[in-house]
Structure 1
């Protein structure tokens, strides 16, 4: 599939459905990044087992053309796989074994709760997370992996069924762009405040979890009162190699605030009068650092990968440095 390479603002987005060009421009304001993404591959984390042929080396042996090992000949074996050179040297028959190649299933989960809307209207955490997920999805599709995406708040609220092949990237971009547009719209006046304090809540339904072994990427600001450890355990039990991408804006990492302020909880809509000074800001910074350290500890304990992303960092830099240096992506 061919995409336009021109840059600039998206065309009018007032229609009910975005055109492929509008979707691409919204998701990738700089479409030249696509060529760079095509050269990357998602690290599966572990050798994979599966039933669908692909380009990944599995931990099982099969019929690909990549040599794995020898084993002694047993009656009934296909004599065409005997290595006659070894037989000529040793007088013993050994069978050549080959690695089975399976496709990787990449599952992308994006937090679109209200706290993710914090920040600039055009560059909030939800926008950044969705664009980042689109990058990972495009890398997967370009590498012949199978890619799916789910959106969650207190429950799964949107799903993109599994896609395969680079030609399917238009569907991925369309889904991401439509989600970006919807998150920009204000919720209806009669919509109740969602309870998004438990991260495990959206994944308690069996249908919310991956059905096949693979790798799961979770994009979230992790602003939950509980359930983070439980959610990660749930995915690992579903045979997933988990990558937790923790996103915060620069204003959340180092808020530039002072004086008597009424701080509003973006999830519950409740407010609290707070006197902000140097001491409180220092305590806040320590609390943020402590929370990041705890998330990293939990992930290390469970065998998951923790990545922190400041959403003020250009998307290209996050891909080139944070992800590549963590070995979750390979060139």
Structure 2
């Protein structure tokens, strides 16, 4: 995989500095620790963890009965059932497997649009850091890929709470390095989302949950990208981020608007009617994405970056059952 090119080296942050950068409000970490990533269905895995797999094994969560067969462990015979039926049945339990969470974060030029306090890229990375930390606290595995028209940086799967410093440091360093070179990088535009997921090694090799964090400003390829992830046995969460300035722009007069991806410009007269048509188009696009996700069985989460990260996690993600309280 290729990496983003920086014009001068940036000193890496230590774990404490990374935490301060990503979580100015450190109390949020404590609340995230009480959450865990939820899987809609049982996940097939190969390593011990806390998610139920489609295989049956040695956990303590009851799954079903089956008739006794020679060679079965007689300790699993349910004698109360035998007493009622005079037939021997063996108790089966769900095999508990870890969940693998893949975070795909859009770092194309359009993601850096807006004021610093509502910047979509910074918000997406902090949100990904939060979701990933919840997964690590649940003893799951989490990986991250940053993409524009291709994967530009990636962190292979890390496991468990002990890996959280590595997780935070990667995201904090990526936040600074991508932001540092964003304005001068000519190769961080992206028009076709599906092209990213057609490259070798981009799709997960094991079933799990994939989060796609993006402003969805692509000319094509969103549905094809979702289909590719689902073909890789992923439960997909589309996290659609827009800034307040994109939802309700405060513009007027004769302006030259610059395409953030292509860097092309267009002179335009901005008035009340044009802004009204624009807001309607944005609303219709959001509804189209919602419909697409509902049709494909994908969880759609809309994020206004003008809302605090704390509120996004607790008031948007929880009702969607994307994060669930620990049992």
Tell me by how many angstroms 1:76 deviates.
Answer: 2.7
- Could you tell me which of 92, 109, 117 is aligned with 2:112? 117
Structure 1 counterpart of 2:196: 202
Structure 1 counterpart of 2:33: 38
Pairing 1:72-87 to 2, within 5 Å after superposition = 72-87=67-82
Name the CA distance, whole Å, in 2 between partners of 1:96 and 1:184: 55
Name the CA distance, whole Å, in 1 between partners of 2:183 and 2:25: 33
Structure 1 counterpart of 2:4: none
Q: Which moved more, 1:321-330 or 1:76-85?
A: 76-85
Name the CA distance, whole Å, in 2 between partners of 1:79 and 1:315: 52
- Could you tell me which of 38, 43, 55 is aligned with 1:60? 55
String of CA shifts for 1:80-128, please: whole Å, max 9, x gaps: 2112232234322111111111111100000000100011235410000
Give yes or no for the alignment of 1:255 onto 2:233. no
Structure 1 counterpart of 2:15: 20
Structure 2 counterpart of 1:239: 233
Give yes or no for the alignment of 1:176 onto 2:171. yes
Tell me by how many angstroms 1:182 deviates.
Answer: 1.2
String of CA shifts for 1:255-304, please: whole Å, max 9, x gaps: 00000001111111111101000000010001001110111111111111
Structure 2 counterpart of 1:324: 318
Name the CA distance, whole Å, in 2 between partners of 1:293 and 1:284: 14
Structure 2 counterpart of 1:9: none
Tell me by how many angstroms 1:49 deviates.
Answer: 1.2
Q: Which moved more, 1:277-286 or 1:179-188?
A: 179-188
Name the CA distance, whole Å, in 2 between partners of 1:323 and 1:134: 14
Q: How much is the aligned-residue C-alpha RMSD, in angstroms? A: 1.5
3-state SS of paired residue (1:86): helix
- Could you tell me which of 44, 48, 55 is aligned with 2:43? 48
3-state SS of paired residue (1:186): helix
Q: Which moved more, 1:21-30 or 1:120-129?
A: 120-129
Structure 2 counterpart of 1:107: 102
Name the CA distance, whole Å, in 2 between partners of 1:264 and 1:306: 29
The answer to whether the Cα contact below 8 Å between 1:193 and 1:269 also exists between their aligned partners in 2 is no
Q: How many residues align?
A: 317
The answer to whether the Cα contact below 8 Å between 2:45 and 2:207 also exists between their aligned partners in 1 is yes
Pairing 1:266-277 to 2, within 5 Å after superposition = 266-277=260-271
The answer to whether the Cα contact below 8 Å between 1:259 and 1:275 also exists between their aligned partners in 2 is yes
Name the CA distance, whole Å, in 2 between partners of 1:89 and 1:270: 78
TM-score normalised per structure 1 = 0.93
Tell me by how many angstroms 1:59 deviates.
Answer: 2.6
Query: Where in structure 1 do 4 or more consecutive aligned residues deviate above 6 Å?
Result: none
Name the CA distance, whole Å, in 2 between partners of 1:46 and 1:255: 41
Pairing 1:156-235 to 2, within 5 Å after superposition = 156-187=151-182, 191-235=185-229
Tell me by how many angstroms 1:193 deviates.
Answer: 4.9
